[in-house]
Structure 1
Amino acid sequence: MKKLFFLALAFNTIATGYCQAGEEHFKNGILKDSLHDFKGAIADYTKAIEIDPAFAKAYINRGIDKDSLQDYKGAIADYGKAIGLDPRNAELYRMMALSKTGLKDYEGAVFDCNWAIELNPANTEAYRARGYAKYKLKDYLGAIGDFNKAIEINPAYADAYKIRGFAKANLQDYKGAVGDYNKTIELNPAEASAYFNRGIIKIATGDKTAGCADLTKAEELGHEDAGKLIKKYCK
């Protein structure tokens, strides 16, 4: 009996040591993330997972880093592992949707966002992600519906107004689009694309002076295409 007790004690000690080693690699990964050493962090999270294959947080962090390095397939695989360990975590589905968006798998992104929203109907970012995927699929009305919901939850969500403006412009609702760009600029005065797109609409609808002023502001804020349109329409 004593022998069995000591064997069990030794096993528990070894297991505890392995867990601690996994945690150390995980902490090292977080430190490297803070230094933007994503490849180094991935190596540490991989070691943590090798020690503890059920280490959900290590899969999540490794997935985030892979996404940052545009390894979207690798990120999706890690989020899938994490979902297997924590299937009720709505945020994991949203993160996987963003990686699918990176691969231009917009239908897959919508599917994942549906799960995220079902699990957490107040997930503003999931509505934003699904709205963007629908926008890329040219489902402009569907996109507007999702951005409406995101704005209902968070009325100060500048990015939701901006992309809703893009969708309205594609439906030729120029007045509605300008209203959304106005709100975007009110919330985020440094949003170059809102000035740029508002400027295009103003020029197209006959308000050249105001439109050119918007394009000039967009160029000042670093919009790459603003200068070309200024030369074409404002000189």
Structure 2
Amino acid sequence: MRAAIVDSVAPVLVLLLLGSPVAAQEPQKSGRLKNIEQCNGADRVPAQVRIAGCAALINSGDIRADALAVAYNNRGNAYSAAAEYDRAIADFDRAIELASGYVKPVNNRGVAYLRKGAYDDAIKAFDEAIKLKPGYAGAFANRAVAHLKLNQYDRAARDFDEAIRLDPDLTLAWSGRCWTRAVTGDLQAGLDDCDRAIKSGPNDAAAYDSRALIRLKMGQLAAAIDDYDSALRLAPGQAGALYGRGLAKLRQGDKAGGDRDVSAARLIEAKVGDEFARRGVQ
């Protein structure tokens, strides 16, 4: 499963304009606003451009501490998107130092640890975020993903339940709980979760992959193949989706097509079959 994660970009524009008289000076205004736009850019702006925009604000030396914390948070997200996780964590640490009680970089530090593969550190960060903001649905969903990485399915399910209770529109929580239930065998409830996730976010490859696993386990082979097709269309080259589709084809009697998918999956991830065995599918 390609787990989705909630990270948080904060708008730095208002804080900068309130905190820096230089921002109102006409000769520098256009350059400053461009840097703000880049730093606020999230996924719409390439990571290196976001990093440069935030760095220019951080290095300007004339913005107040709360705006500086936002700039560090946003640059941390850009570093994380560029897979520079240690730099991201350093920026989140700095944002937390500058603005006590600012919860977004606490959550985002957990995201960086999660993407880095430091799952225990990620859980500690999400614990801290939830302590600061008990109603933070995204932090519960992120902690659930970290629990999934450690095969702690009961804990993951509880966190997804809480994320959904706090924010019923959080699509990744429905998708994540679907995957959890697919693995643990709560198939009909998992199917309902995936249907909800796909209705809300039809371009979520993970939700299609999760629903495909449920349908494979339920023996709904044609429907499983359709869902694996959708997952691969949205995110080509997923070993799990290829392997699952191959198993479904083999069970339908399509030996050539099934062997082709299984072989392709094993070239991408040699132990993908072991993963499916742990999920209860062989």
TM-score normalised according to structure 1 size: 0.73
Alignment of 1:1-235 (within 5 A): 19=66, 22=69, 26=73, 29-30=76-77, 32-33=79-80, 36-188=83-235, 190-215=237-262, 218=265, 222-224=268-270
Distance 1:42 1:81 in 2: 15
Contact 1:151 1:157 in 2 (8 A): yes
Asked whether the equivalents of residues 196 and 223 of structure 1 are also in contact (C-alpha less than 8 Å), the reply is no
Q: Give the equivalent residue in structure 2 for 1:8.
A: none
| TM-score, structure 2 as length reference | 0.62
1:153 and 1:24, CA in 2 relative to 1: closer, same or farther beyond 3 A? closer
Aligned residue pairs: how many? 211
**Over alpha carbons, which structure has the higher Rg?**
1
Give, in whole Å, the separation in 2 of the partners of 1:98 and 1:207. 35
Classify 1:55/1:200 alpha carbon distance in 2 versus 1 (closer, same or farther; 3 Å). Answer: same
List gaps (5 residues or longer) in structure 1.
1-15, 227-235
Q: Once the 2 structures are TM-superposed, how far is the Cα of residue 203 of structure 1 from its aligned partner?
A: 2.4
How far 1:94 sits from its partner (Å)? 0.8
Backbone CA RMSD of aligned residues:
3.1
Task: Measure the CA separation in 1 of the matches of 2:79 and 2:242.
Answer: 37
Alignment-derived partner of residue 53 in structure 2: none
Deviation at 1:51, TM superposition (A): 4.4
AA at the equivalent of 2:174: Y
Unaligned runs of 5+ in 2: 1-62, 273-282
Higher relative contact order (CA 8 A, sep 6+): 2
Does the CA contact (< 8 Å) of 1:117 and 1:123 recur in 2? yes
Cα displacement string for residues 19-74 of structure 1 (whole angstroms, at most 9, x for unaligned residues)? 57756754664564465332233234334434443121221221111112222222
Report if the CA contact (8 A) 1:162-1:180 is conserved: yes
Kept in 1, the 8 Å contact 2:216–2:224? The answer is yes
Structure 1, residues 100-144: CA drift from partner, whole Å, max 9, x if none? 112221111111111211122121111111111222222222222
* Structure 2 CA distance for partners of 1:34 and 1:215, relative to 1, 3 Å: closer
* Amino acid corresponding to residue 202 of structure 1 in structure 2: K
Is the contact made by 1:28 and 1:41 (CA closer than 8 Å) also made in structure 2? yes
Greater Cα shift, 78-87 or 18-27 = 18-27
1:192-226 superposed Cα distances (whole Å, 9 cap, x missing partner): 43333222232233222333444465567x35369
Report the Cα distance in structure 2 between the residues aligned to 1:129 and 1:48, rounded to whole angstroms: 29
Letter matched to residue 133 of structure 1: T
